[in-house]
Structure 1
């Protein structure tokens, strides 16, 4: 076994620190804590935990009250220490207190979340560090609620939501996966009297978390259910639940003029997500041939690689090879060469990509993002094609008078010049 070097033994790692022994480590920690108020508070809470949950609770409650009652702004210099302190409090509740007293930990983590509005008024959080602490607290809340009686946990969650609905409309997405459907169902029942636009997102998230498809559907108005995106989402859920006839009715109700949008050139095209849901319905209802026809029709219109792959995946042996040739030919001849090239890149079909770049380079109107992403895939085996893409994108940037972008793309292209 290789012996550790003197340099490696001086690294600050748990293994090396353990060699100092508990007494020396305690002395060093106490010394550092004298200049770090947040660390000193954390150590005091750990010592309180050793005395029992009631002692730890007293320290936690004192800190929660202090943070909740403070009105002074937190300066940018104080912000890092404040964030560490807040996150340390969260971690202590979700970890140490949860081990000692689960119900108390559940109550205190909800109290931590209740601090969010007041903290937001005191702390400028441009980097999102404070928001991240509350996001972790929401995840902790879901885990702690799951460990409690579902009815009681749901009632506690409903009460917390009622106090800060705007914040919980975001946190529910983090808390509910861990909390489970029973807690979500109980919370939804506790908020049944709440109505209005502000509560729609909350009730929808709770219904989704509860797996209550009818309650989820009830959060949409009759007009909203006729919009393609909503109809596609609801129909997909109905199909997952085996309710095919209802899924068909929902999709057909949305097949109104609003389903179509004007594509480039003025041609009406159906909403892509609605069309995906309709194809799924055809497949689920045993209409496989109709589903395949719809996939191909959609591909011809959109040049979607996902549609093409779904189509070829359902073809018998050798028929998929013939279909690929048709797909590549349509991409190469596409009225929009960038869309066709994107399909070939995503497939991937690099020989066809190179051939299309050689044949239609003058027609390409590339964005810098597409040129850089696509050239990165081509640069090793096909540097000339990658060079052409970057040069075309640089020319487009110059035409738009984006000179810094033009210079960047030109330099990248020059680095690939054969």
Structure 2
């Protein structure tokens, strides 16, 4: 049970309106974002039209602004956008869906302009506009908007889709458009060259469940690309047309051989299974695994083997991985399977070859190996340290210092170094080679 001093809505409510009002005035002082949210809440209490007037003013101010929003200012911008969107899709939509619809379209129209002047490395800002686009269909349905008008508004928004914020807009509004609206939207998309008509027409066909219209959007040349063929074949298979799906895949077979496509493999496997050609599907699963070292593909393959043959096949798979042309892919497979003793042996056999740039693979691998295979974990951690120092990646120095601390701890559990230099010798070489990296060694000295 929460204590009486725990910050929750119940305890705050017990303070009373007057105390809370004073606290809100105090915490909002000098904070424009909170002040605007409070004004919006006051307006919403007066009614939908008053709240809409407040939202309209804020959207106009955002549209006029030319200030560049860097990473430091992004949090405030996100709070502002979320606040306006919540007001539109919440109390205003509940009281007056038609009014909310007009405001939501205006909000969405801000997309390109805001993203033009914003640092959005995290994707959080574009995420707000995608969230807003997803809510357009339900609000349009609640507003009982005419399909023709909605189709026109959607078409206008797609014209200003410079950052892909409206890539899923058509599926989001398909229910509200209905068949008449989809037909009008299709006509508008064909007429407007500014829109990526191909993608829009594909989505319209998909929303209608019209696989022939979907297929008609691709030329013979486009269908020769394995990934495109796989996409079309999946639609044909879902429509109960596996023979036609196989024919489309066969048309891209040469490309699938030249540029290996896991998507083409998966689609063909599914089609072969439906057609009752299980042995061919099984062979393709194995060949696909040999190329990609895909764990789902291997598990799928092993599950379909006769009893007592899967252990032998698993052993063959390990050998395939260890001989793969991409050692990094092999390491990732062996650790994730998991086959940690094999991963340890593989790491140590290639200890001089590892490129520490692959920290997104080495970090998790070292963590998994550290409990029972400390020497292999150390090899990977050292590789990341050497990479950070040799390439001067100052942002990774703190991580590198932590890796060296971990190596020191691991070294106490290593009794057979298998030809790999001790931690003391490694540190001596590191200081000799990178002694001028003062900021790094300061981190190390502080951690001792």
TM over 0.5: yes
CA spacing shift, 1:131–1:353, aligned 2, 3 Å: closer
Q: Kindly indicate whether the alpha-carbon contact (under 8 Å) linking 1:236 and 1:247 is maintained by their aligned counterparts in 2.
A: yes
CA-based RMSD of the aligned residues comes to 3.7
CA spacing shift, 1:214–1:106, aligned 2, 3 Å: farther
Which residue of 154, 158, 161 maps to 2:155? Answer: 161
Alignment of 1:260 onto 2:257? yes
Aligned residue for 1:170, secondary structure, equals coil
Task: List gaps (5 residues or longer) in structure 1.
Answer: 262-268
Q: Kindly indicate whether the alpha-carbon contact (under 8 Å) linking 1:184 and 1:210 is maintained by their aligned counterparts in 2.
A: no
Q: Kindly indicate whether the alpha-carbon contact (under 8 Å) linking 1:295 and 1:307 is maintained by their aligned counterparts in 2.
A: yes
**Distance in 2 separating the partners of 1:37 and 1:366:** 48
Q: Which structure 2 residues correspond to residues 6-405 of structure 1 after superposition, within 5 A? A: 9=5, 12-29=7-24, 39-65=34-60, 67-68=62-63, 70=64, 73=67, 83-120=78-115, 123-126=117-120, 130-149=125-144, 152=146, 155-167=149-161, 170-175=164-169, 178-181=172-175, 183=177, 187-193=181-187, 194-195=189-190, 196=193, 198-256=196-254, 258-261=255-258, 270-334=260-324, 337-357=327-347, 360-361=349-350, 364-367=353-356, 368-369=358-359, 370-391=361-382, 397=387, 401-402=390-391
**Distance in 1 separating the partners of 2:327 and 2:73:** 54
Q: Cα distance, 1:242 vs. partner? A: 1.6
Q: Kindly indicate whether the alpha-carbon contact (under 8 Å) linking 1:97 and 1:105 is maintained by their aligned counterparts in 2.
A: yes
Q: Kindly indicate whether the alpha-carbon contact (under 8 Å) linking 1:338 and 1:364 is maintained by their aligned counterparts in 2.
A: no
**Distance in 1 separating the partners of 2:316 and 2:69:** 63
**Distance in 2 separating the partners of 1:376 and 1:383:** 9
CA spacing shift, 1:83–1:378, aligned 2, 3 Å: closer
**Distance in 2 separating the partners of 1:302 and 1:340:** 9
**Distance in 1 separating the partners of 2:287 and 2:62:** 60
Once the two structures are superposed, residues 358-399 of structure 1 have per-residue CA deviations (whole angstroms, 9 ceiling, x without a partner) of 5x335754544233332211111221332244456667x49x
Q: Cα distance, 1:312 vs. partner? A: 0.4
**Distance in 2 separating the partners of 1:87 and 1:321:** 54
CA spacing shift, 1:416–1:157, aligned 2, 3 Å: farther
**Distance in 1 separating the partners of 2:253 and 2:151:** 39
**Distance in 2 separating the partners of 1:130 and 1:301:** 38
Once the two structures are superposed, residues 98-156 of structure 1 have per-residue CA deviations (whole angstroms, 9 ceiling, x without a partner) of 110122212221111113344456x444455643432332233243235454x735741
Once the two structures are superposed, residues 230-268 of structure 1 have per-residue CA deviations (whole angstroms, 9 ceiling, x without a partner) of 001111222122211221121112123x3333xxxxxxx
Aligned residue for 1:191, secondary structure, equals helix
CA spacing shift, 1:279–1:117, aligned 2, 3 Å: closer
**Distance in 2 separating the partners of 1:23 and 1:218:** 66
TM-score, length of structure 1 as denominator length: 0.79
Q: Cα distance, 1:26 vs. partner? A: 3.3
Aligned residue for 2:161, secondary structure, equals helix
Task: List gaps (5 residues or longer) in structure 2.
Answer: 415-448
Q: Cα distance, 1:354 vs. partner? A: 3.2
Aligned residue for 1:23, secondary structure, equals helix
**Distance in 1 separating the partners of 2:46 and 2:313:** 73
**Distance in 1 separating the partners of 2:373 and 2:174:** 51
Tell me which moved more, 74-83 or 241-250: 74-83
